[in-house]
Chains A and B, each alone.
Chain A
Amino acid sequence: MKTYDIVIIGGGPAGLAAAVSARENGIQDILILERDKELGGILNQCIHNGFGLHTFKEELTGPEYAGRFIKQVMDLGIEYKLHTMVMDISSDKIVTAMNREEGLFEIQAGAVILAMGCRERSRGALNIPGYRPAGIYSAGTAQRLVNMEGYMPGREVVILGSGDIGLIMARRMTLEGAKVKVVAELMPYSGGLKRNIVQCLNDYDIPLKLSHTVVDIKGKERVEGITLAEVDGKGKPIPGTEEEYTCDTLLLSCGLIPENEISRGMGVDMNPVTSGPKVNESLETNIEGVFACGNVLHVHDLVDFVSEEAKTAGRNAAEYVKNLQADTDDRDKHSREEAAEIVLNPVEGVRYTVPSTINPVHMDENLTVRFRVGGVYKNCYVSVYFDEERVIHKKRPVVAPGEMEQIKLTKEQLMKYPGLKTITVKIEEA
């Protein structure tokens, strides 16, 4: 069986940045496994700009952003396999993969970095009633058809869900000659970035209907129309508010689901809120030497943060491998067991945190804790409590579910609180 120090599952932005970081931290023997025909992942179909403002301080398109990382991977001579599907990973890190040339093969990995990304919630998972004709696409599928293959999936479009891909596709479909009639959003707020609402809807006079959903789909062969209705505070359609729209296409942008079938199969513990693995400060899962980053861990809004997170995962995977190779299992392993882990406790408006535990002995000097909120809060405070003591109280004009939040913790700060058990993160209204 072939062996690699680090095997990275997925060659999208997370996998690429993790690979570069692991190499820069001294690991030579790295393999990226990618199922598509090229590296770059979903960025390849994101031909709009707005990527890289944080990472490169300039505005790039998706393929350009991916290109920067692909070039680094190439320059560093990191190995990768395309058209290769990972079928299964065992808990002792034997990766079973398949492609046309090599057939079914196994690789023993020293460390594994999970970077499989996410998939879109389907019409079926939303349980939208009506017929099941052609013309219903997830926004990402439509984006692939239009941006990579040049095909129009329809002419008159209704979009359900105001996630970023839906907003971006509202603009794209308009630019390619389709009529986007309306974007409907179940929640009373948008799930996408504010800048996308302005640049993709407002600039093109596309109406956004908050607290609305699709209650019927008409058309036996191809979509002929849909019915929208207003929903009450519990998301239930209000009778009498139905409005008919004729259209031949319904695009769905109703949330992304981390793609963790492989992770579950190998026994990784999951966070039911994110549908991603539970990780510690090193972005390591409950299985030692298995790390996760990017949208497989939790759904991000900006790729820059994916790259940053992946860099951390890559570095920690490199450290893990180096420790193994230095045969210092006594030192590292024991200290991990001995040092008590601090549990992060998301409450009152904070849905989750990544990581979910911190071992202060192992953490870097600075640690970014990322989280999302469950509603829109104006003039509020993001507060952090070390057990009972409030240590961070940051005023925010507005926080919303569509934009990922973060707080920074330092090792120095945590070391001042020996015996600290719980770090609580919450939103406090002014």
Chain B
Amino acid sequence: MYDVIIIGSGVSGSAAARELSRYKAKVCVLEKEEDVCCGTSKANSGIVHAGYDAKEGSLMAKLNVRGNAMMEQLSKELDFPFQRVGSLVICLREEDMDKLQALYDRGVANGVPGLQILNREEVLEMEPNIVDNVYAALYAPSAGIVCPFGLNIAMAENACENGVEFKFDTKVQRLGKKDDIWEIHTNQGVFKTKYVVNAAGVYADKFHNMVSEKKIHITPRRGDYCLLDKTAGAHVSKTIFALPNEFGKGILVTPTAHGNLLLGPTAIDIEEKEGTNTTREGLDQVLTKAGQNVKDIPMRQVITSFAGLRAHEEGHEFIIEEVENAKGFIDCAGIESPGLTSSPAIGEMVAGILKEKLHLEEKENFIATRKGILDPNTLTKEERVTLIKEKPAYGNIICRCEMITEGEIIDAIHRPLGAKSLDGVKRRTRAGMGRCQAGFCSPRTMEILARELDIPMSEITKSGGKSQIITGTNKDQL
């Protein structure tokens, strides 16, 4: 029997797991996919928002500003890429200045530091590729960019090192309470626990509604993105937003934490909770609208496109609380943007609730830091030569676009919560994330996975489940 079971190992679930792992408690995370960071957390803008968007006094505003403030320290403790690059909200017309001013005022009320309204000349000096007809912009120096996989995986790995169990390919089917104990029925059997944390992303309404008469409804709000080659990565130096509208923050243009250029997202409400397919209209909209605020974007440099689903709850507010009349069931629902930014604060808040309820004591041996996968590019030439002498696998480049070595891939496979699939390797090391999109490295990465995990090539998947890469051997059906 567990003290706490967390449903979902996205960024919210993993943050909660990491914060809970500070305490003496038996904690388990159930994840329906084969890896952490497989839903909303893997397909988003990777932005650490400053915090001027959310309504004054809302939980969203509070956790956004708090999460932003925590991010830098956390990125050092847990070794994931984060850069405080700042952001601009572009205002093109004088008549929209009241909207820009409203954002500024809200930001000040929310406690966002350093906000400034810049005039046209100041904007163009700061960011020369903004369109010439810019009128003004809201500059937020505290905004940043983060690797969403890096953040999610780092928190999960650290939680795992501190004793949290993770069960993958474990899909929650139903749950109920028996004698004050929650029974969670899954495809892998029944799990019992005192407390449940519902961090199921777009599925959070499903589990909430199983235990509560006060129904919530989460709409998957699809966002299509286009990612451009690193040669375009310096086109802008900050995250460039349009003025927000009813569907959110509009199409942004941003450098990513790894030096690509990212355009998106659209905002299309759908019903299908697995509907992560891009559409022609969506991609066209991204390419068109990105150009409204930033000029001369080299659209020919697109290397991939993808779509993510935001978990949009009607009230547009984070729901982080014990559900009424369902004692022991803690919602962590409606976590849409700025969810990634807020995640460290969400984790803190969830752990805080449970600490109080379970009277948890701190562990003496909590490991606060985690070392990420060694990136040989950060070493000096001499250090790199020494490394290869000790571990020759670091001399063997597997992904030639991102220059990822066999050593990094082996590390990704064997560390806690290690990679089991091509996508798992990709999210941890970036092998396959470059301009050839794994055309060159996938057969080689498959060989390494097969060797290190001691499984046949036929069992290697792209992303678990039935996503096998090969279907058999030559002439086997002739």
Contacts and interface: CB of A to CB of B under 8 A. Distances in A.
Interface string A110-142: 000000000110111101011111100110110
The A interface, classified by DSSP as helix, strand, loop or mixed, is mixed
A237 B467 CA distance: 29
A238 interface: no
B282 A129 contact: yes
A216 B443 CA distance: 25
B468 to A, nearest CB: 6
B439 A120 contact: yes
A420 interface: no
A133 B461 CA distance: 10
B422 to A, nearest CB: 8
Q: Which bucket holds chain A's interface residue count? A: 35 or more
Interface string B261-292: 00000000000001011111011000000000
A415 to B, nearest CB: 41
Nearest to B231: A264
B473 interface: yes
Contacts of B393: 100
Given A103-B388, A119-B439, A141-B442, A152 B277 contact: no
Contacts of B436: 119-120, 122
B392 A101 contact: yes
Interface stretch (A185-193, A217-225, A372-380): A217-225
A217 B305 CA distance: 13
Contact of B279 (A99, A129, A176): A129
A152 B457 CA distance: 11
Given A103-B385, A125-B303, A150-B473, A134 B463 contact: yes
Interface string A210-252: 0000011110111000000000000001000000000011000
Contacts of A60: none
B471 interface: yes
A100 B396 contact: yes
Contacts of A215: 280
A63 interface: no
Interface string B372-411: 0000000001001100110011011100100100000000
B280 A150 contact: no
A53 interface: no
A99 B227 CA distance: 31
Interface string A237-273: 1000000000011000000000000000000000000
Contacts of A207: none
B302 interface: yes
A203 interface: no
B396 A99 contact: yes
B212 interface: no
B478 A130 contact: no
Given A131-B276, A177-B475, A217-B277, A100 B302 contact: no
A177 B478 contact: yes
Interface string B436-478: 1101101100000000000001100111011111111111111
Given A85-B400, A122-B436, A146-B474, A100 B395 contact: yes
A201 B471 CA distance: 23
B226 interface: yes
B277 A131 contact: yes
A146 B463 CA distance: 22
A83 interface: yes
A98 B397 contact: yes
A134 B471 CA distance: 11
Give the interface centre of B283, B462, B473, B474 by most chain A CB atoms within 10 Å: B474
Nearest to B405: A98
Give the interface centre of A87, A133, A220, A248 by most chain B CB atoms within 10 Å: A220
Interface string A145-165: 110011111110000000000
B439 A104 contact: no
A421 interface: no
Nearest to A83: B396
14 contacts: A83-B396, A98-B395, A103-B385, A104-B381, A125-B437, A129-B277, A129-B280, A129-B282, A133-B462, A141-B443, A151-B474, A152-B474, A153-B471, A177-B475
9 shortest interchain CB distances as A-B pairs: A124-B304, A134-B462, A122-B437, A100-B392, A103-B388, A134-B467, A85-B397, A100-B395, A151-B470
Interface of A: 35, 83, 85, 87, 98-104, 119-120, 122-125, 127, 129-134, 137-138, 140-141, 144-146, 149-155, 176-177, 215-218, 220-222, 237, 248-249
